[in-house]
Structure 1
Amino acid sequence: MRFYPLILVSLLACSTPPQQAETTVTPEPEAITPPTYSPLNALTPEEEAEGWSLLFDGESGQGWHTFGKDSLTGWEIADGELRTPGNKGDIVTDETFADFELYIEWKISEGGNSGIMFHVQEGADYTYTFETGPEFQIIDDEGYESPLDNTQKTGANYALQAPTVAAAMPVGTYNTTRIRVWKGKVQHFLNGQMVVTYKQDSPEWEAIKNKTKFKDMPGYAAFSSGHIALQDHGDAVAFRSIKIRPL
Structure 2
Amino acid sequence: MPLRIALRHQGWRVDADRSRESVMRLKAGFVAMAVMAAACDPQPAVNIDTPIPPLPGTETPAAAPGAQLTPEETAAGWKLLFNGTDLTGWKGYKKDAPGAGWAVENGELTLTAGGAGDIMTAEEFGPFELSLEWKISPNGNSGIIYLIKEDPAAENTYNTGPEMQVLDNDGHADGKFPTHRAGALYDFQTPPDGAVKPVGEWNEAVVRFSGSEIEHWLNGVLVSETNYGDDAWKAKVAATKFKQWPLFGTFASGHIALQDHGDRVWYRSIKIRPIQ
- Please say if 1:72 is aligned against 2:95: no
Number of residue pairs matched by the alignment: 210
Calculate the TM-score normalised by the size of structure 1.
0.81
- Please say if 1:123 is aligned against 2:151: yes
Aligned identity (percent) is: 45
Task: State the partner residue of 1:15.
Answer: none
Q: Which amino acid is 2:205 matched to?
A: T
RMSD: 1.5
Aligned partners of 1:87 and 1:235 also within 8 Å: no
Tell me which of 230, 253, 266 is aligned to 1:238: 266
User: Secondary structure of 2:208's match?
Assistant: strand
The structure with more radius of gyration: 2
Tell me which of 176, 194, 198 is aligned to 1:166: 194
User: Secondary structure of 1:188's match?
Assistant: strand
- Please say if 1:60 is aligned against 2:89: no
Task: State the partner residue of 1:140.
Answer: 168
User: Secondary structure of 2:176's match?
Assistant: coil
- 1:71-220 residue pairs with structure 2 within 5 A? 71-74=97-100, 75-85=102-112, 86-145=114-173, 148-220=176-248
User: Secondary structure of 2:253's match?
Assistant: coil
Calculate the TM-score normalised by the size of structure 2.
0.73
Aligned partners of 2:175 and 2:181 also within 8 Å: no
Higher RCO (C-alpha 8 Å, min separation 6): 1
- CA displacement at 1:103 relative to structure 2: 0.3
- CA displacement at 1:72 relative to structure 2: 2.0
User: Secondary structure of 2:233's match?
Assistant: helix
- CA displacement at 1:212 relative to structure 2: 1.4
Distance 2:174 2:206 in 1: 27
Task: State the partner residue of 1:33.
Answer: none
Moved over 4 A (4+): none
- CA displacement at 1:146 relative to structure 2: 5.3
Give structure 1 stretches of 5+ with no counterpart.
Answer: 1-37
- CA displacement at 1:188 relative to structure 2: 0.4
Give structure 2 stretches of 5+ with no counterpart.
Answer: 1-63
Task: State the partner residue of 2:77.
Answer: 51
- CA displacement at 1:219 relative to structure 2: 0.8
